[in-house]
Amino acid sequence: MAGDNDVPYKALNNGAEVLGETVFLHGELDLRIIEAKSLPNMDLASERIRKCFTIFGGCGHPFGKKSKNPGKISGRHSIITSDPYVSVCLAGATIAQTRVIANSENPSWDEHFCVPVAHPAVKVEFLVKDNDVLGAQHIGVVGISAEKILSGGTINGWFPIVGPYGNPLKPYPELHLSIQFRPVGENPLYKYGVGAGPDYEGVPNTYFPLRRGGSVTLYQDAHVPDGVLPEITLDGGKVFQQHKCWEDICHAILEAHHLIYIVGWSIFHPVKLVREPTRPLPSGGELSLGDLLKYKSQEGVRVIMLIWDDKTSHDKFLLKTEGVMQTHDEETRKFFRRSSVHCVLCPRYASNKLSIFKQQVVGTLFTHHQKCVLLDTQATGNNRKITAFIGGLDLCDGRYDTPEHRLFGDLDTVFANDFHNPTFTSRSRGPRQPWHDLHCKIEGPAAYDVMKNFEQRWRKASKWRDLKFKKVAHWHDDALIKLDRISWILTPSSGPDGDQVVRVTNEEDPENWHVQVFRSIDSGSVMGFPKDVKEAEAKNLVCGKNLKVDRSIHIAYVKAIRSAQHFVYIENQYFLGSSYYWPSHKNAGADNLVPIELALKIASKISVNERFPCML
């Protein structure tokens, strides 16, 4: 039933025949995909073949008695039917997907999506598909005019699902959905700028909330010698202090009492963290990273490493290859073998709920790209707290650099045995490839969110080993320290004020930071996401077929650009997106909104004759 403010709408034609002008939808689409009825059985042919080749089943008629529970197969009299799900497409880009309902011709999803959009479109398409092991089969489509959506009213009702050429399907299936559009200009979230406004509560609709009472240390490059960079003056006559990233990480590792957790795209054990020290180095600081971690584990510190496993690298029997990306993953694992350091290679295996083809694509072409060091550090009194180093710097070869970016200097001293340049293969006299990146140290409640991310990833990765998916040794399951059982390690409790005990600053402190953690990850890579759809929605996770997805990085980017008042500065190793708007390669799949949002922001400022620098 439509609500009091709903605009009932009955689609008379197929999505391909929805007529109207191309309009630009810039804002949020509020979608609810409720249910479908009378879907056709797309598995009749495969079911007949299955019955022909099954050992105990003959080539009988495929129309048997339907099970009372369409999600279950209860013997040889049940029917195998479609496994439907819905993809929502706008301008050729998939913006939302429901979960798959197994073996049902009358599926009920009741899933809600709030999707940021910046798309030129004639219509919004709801593609109903049948999920199969080898891919998906198209059932039909519902198309709703973008002009009707732009009016702002709620469109709610049952819509006929039709074939690709507008042909009606039998037995006349229908889809029940609700859709409403809210333009950017009517959303107060973007009115006050980034991180401003009354009662600001951070970026909404994300897994991790805004945390108060934190402290953040910013780093440029792995090391910044004193006096190299010009002074940056701050409010109140203060001067920004340049800190030394790898030197700070080394000291934090040396001072850890209980745990050191490291996750990286690449971690190379021979790397030395401190090469141009600016303060006295405690015993052990002169060691390489690998020897330093062994040194700490021998002190009783729990050292856990989670490294991306490049599927193209091998070190088994007679097969030894560096791998396409040369991340040294096999070398590092071999170095820590038979030590008390827990080192696990984590391949980017897709969820087994995806098709076989997509599993292979994800496993081969996608990586784990998080870089993080978590450890316990000194808190108030005799207590300890969790501190997180996160950002863009891997602890591997080629990453140590300074703002001077020396190409030929100090190759035999500072950069000895750490020469990296994939363009010039000669490793004799340079030039070395310079490396610039950013990193930070987080203290306070947000550091425990980074810890939660590590624990979720570790629990997923430690279930499997190598390509044979064998269970790992039992000690991997128990590797994580139970922080709540160690009374002197401060941990937050549940409740709205549960993080008070781990705050390191107060609201009156000018050095107080509000910190929010964002990530891009799905349930194929973590353990702990709710399986129930409603519980997942409460955690601001979205469905991608049978995956639960945290897309908070993208949400944060879009929110920041839409809220920007005076300038945008983006520094990133990669910049690609909004491919649905490219003149060619519209189906490239790089559908994030960042480039088109920047273009729209610049255009809006030009239209009102306001200066707005945008630096990429």
Q: What is the pLDDT of residue 321?
A: 78
80-84, 235-239, 271-275, 345-349 — which is least confidently predicted?
345-349
The counts of H helices and E strands in the chain are: 11, 24
Residue 243: which of 287, 279, 272, 214 has the closest Cα? 279
Whether residue 403 has a cis bond before it, omega within 30° of 0: no
Decide if pLDDT at 219 tops 80.
yes
Angle at 564 between CA 582 and CA 514, to 5 degrees: 120
Decide if pLDDT at 17 tops 90.
no
Q: What is the pLDDT of residue 50?
A: 53
* Cα–Cα dist 414/399, whole Å: 12
What's the rounded mean pLDDT across residues 168-186? 95
- pLDDT classification of 425: cutoffs 50, 70, 90: low
Backbone angles phi and psi of 221, in degrees to 5: 65, 170
- pLDDT classification of 462: cutoffs 50, 70, 90: confident
More confident residue, 17 or 283: 283
> Which pTM does this prediction carry?
0.88
Q: What is the pLDDT of residue 351?
A: 61
What's the rounded mean pLDDT across residues 143-163? 94
Domains in the chain and their CATH numbers? 6-43+81-186 (2.60.40.150), 212-224+243-402+430-502 (3.30.870.10), 517-615 (no CATH)
Percent of the chain with pLDDT over 90: 65
Per the DSSP assignment, residues forming a β-bridge with 24 are 120
Residue 416: which of 580, 424, 158, 406 has the closest Cα? 406
Instruction: State which amino acid sits at residue 460.
Output: K
Q: What is the pLDDT of residue 182?
A: 96
Decide if pLDDT at 132 tops 80.
yes
Residue 533: which of 551, 524, 518, 546 has the closest Cα? 546
Decide if pLDDT at 7 tops 70.
no
More confident residue, 11 or 296: 296
Decide if pLDDT at 47 tops 60.
no
Rg (CA), the chain: 27
Other CB atoms within 10 Å distance of the CB of residue 33: 26
Decide if pLDDT at 76 tops 90.
no
Decide if pLDDT at 175 tops 60.
yes
Strands of the sheet containing 6-8, edge to edge, are 6-8, 154-160, 174-183, 23-37, 108-121
